Structure 1
Amino acid sequence: MAVAEDGKRPLWAPWRVAYIRGPKSAECIFCTSPRQASGREELIVHRGERCYVLLNAFPYAPGHLMVAPYRHVGELDALDDDELLELQTLTRDCVRALRRAFAADGFNIGINLGKVAGAGFAAHLHQHVVPRWQGDNNFMPVIADTRVINQSLEAARQEILAAWPTAAASASGPRGGGRSAQSDGASG
Structure 2
Amino acid sequence: LVTGAGRNQTTLPGLRRDLTSILTAFSPRSKERPAELAHEGELDILIATDCISEGQNLQDCDWLINYDIHWNPVRIIQRFGRIDRIGSTNTRIQLVNFWPNMELEEYINLEQRVSGRMVLLDISATGEENIIEQQSGNQMNDLEYRRKQLLKLQETVIDLEDLSSGVAITDLTLTDFRIDLAEYARAHPGRLETMPLGCCAITTSIDADIAPGV
Q: Same fold (TM over 0.5)?
A: no
Larger radius of gyration: 2
**Normalised by the shorter chain, which TM-score bucket?**
under 0.3
- TM-score, length of structure 2 as denominator length: 0.24
Higher relative contact order (CA 8 A, sep 6+): 1
Higher helix share: 2
